[in-house]
Structure 1
Amino acid sequence: MDDYFDSEEYSKIDFSKTKIKKGEYENCTFVNCNFEGIHASNIQFVECEFIECNFSNTIVKDTAFKDVNFINCKMIGVKFNECDPFLLQFTFKDCQLNFSSFYQLKIPNTKFINCNLQEVDFTEAILTSSVFDNCDLKLAVFGRTNLEKSDFRTAFNFNINPEESKLKGAKFSKDNIIGLLSEYKIIIE
């Protein structure tokens, strides 16, 4: 039987040296912890918060993130598409998510605030009503992605083909509209 952890705080733990216990973590806070490159598979995180943690290249196969906040975390190369999709919900603030994958995930209402999302794969994801506030989306992949009602007004460096993705009701600014037109190789001055 898996362990159950409730309302606990974990600070400065290097899980690459101290193995994380499998189980359900509810309402727990992880501060300045290192998860880099570990197998964090089959763990449930419910209403947890991760602050200044390193998740780079962490394996999250069948891991549940239910109403989880990531703040100032390094999460390079994480395959979120391998997570448990049931009740999957998270928010990212001030995070480095380069080279991560959200392929085919159904994650409406997701908030990305001040995040670096370079070369992230959003192919076939459902991101309706999501927010990309001050996010760098350089070389991020949006193919057959549902972005209806999403907010890109302060996002930058994105390239979204409006013929390939659903954009009805999505918000853009006059300054970043070029990210929708670059596909057409037109000159905007």
Structure 2
Amino acid sequence: MSKPFVADKHFKNEDFTQNPLARAVYEECVFEGCQFQNGFLDNQNFVDCTFRECDLSNTNVAYTLWNNVFFESCKLVGVAFDKSDPALMTIQFDKCNLTLAVFYGLTLHKTDFSGSNLSQADFTHTDLTEANFTDCNLDNTVFENTNLSKVNLSKAFNFNINPEVNTLKKARFSKEELIGLLKKHDIVIE
């Protein structure tokens, strides 16, 4: 059974916590100020969509397709993006709260996380080649067996990245934050 098609629709200040968004293919839609927290966005298709100032905390996104989706100033606490459909996944974030978000095993080339809070997020086995973490809080964020080649970590802060278990070829860092590569050695720099 094919999903209904919804295009060019603007959803503003809608509450989808009690009545979930209908399963459909959403193309070039804007979701602004909408509430999805603790709800279900599973098995959806979002193509060329924007989520602005929405709360998607702890929302189930299993098998959801995110193709060219932009999140701006959204709350995405605990969202398990690794359960989404990895095919065609292209997502961008600007000033979002991604605390405890899970990106395990995904390929997220050139993904922009600018200005986002990624505290305790999980990037284990994730390919982040050429991703942008400018001005991101990476406190207790997990990077393990992660490809960080050509990643921009300039102005990122609170990170703890072990160069021995991650690929960091041509990654960019600010001088002030290089201590984040040495934390595992428990050394003192004065």
CA distances 1:35-74 after superposition (whole Å, capped 9, x unpaired): 1111111100000000000000000000011000000000
Identity rate, percent:
40
Cα distance in 1 for partners of 2:50, 2:98 equals: 16
Deviation at 1:19?
2.2
Aligned twin of 1:181: 182
CA distances 1:73-125 after superposition (whole Å, capped 9, x unpaired): 00000000001000101111110000110001111100011101000000010
Aligned twin of 1:147: 148
Considering only aligned residues, what root-mean-square deviation do their CA atoms show, in Å? 0.6
Q: 1:177 corresponds to which letter in structure 2?
A: L
CA distances 1:15-51 after superposition (whole Å, capped 9, x unpaired): 0123211010000000000011111111000000000
Give the secondary structure class of the aligned counterpart of 1:14: coil
Aligned twin of 1:40: 41
Aligned twin of 1:76: 77
Cα distance in 2 for partners of 1:8, 1:71 equals: 17
Is 2:99 the partner of 1:88? no
1:28-177 to structure 2, matched below 5 A, reads: 28-177=29-178
Cα distance in 2 for partners of 1:70, 1:93 equals: 6
TM-score normalized with structure 1 length: 0.99
Q: 1:98 corresponds to which letter in structure 2?
A: T
Deviation at 1:185?
1.3
- Segments of structure 2 that go 5 or more residues without pairing to the other structure are none
Cα distance in 1 for partners of 2:166, 2:20 equals: 41
- Segments of structure 1 that go 5 or more residues without pairing to the other structure are none
Q: 1:128 corresponds to which letter in structure 2?
A: T
Structure 1 segments of 4+ aligned residues over 2 angstroms from their partners = none
Cα distance in 2 for partners of 1:19, 1:181 equals: 46
Cα distance in 1 for partners of 2:162, 2:66 equals: 30
CA distances 1:130-189 after superposition (whole Å, capped 9, x unpaired): 000100000000000000000001100000000000000100011010000111111111
Cα distance in 1 for partners of 2:32, 2:40 equals: 19
TM-score normalized with structure 2 length: 0.98
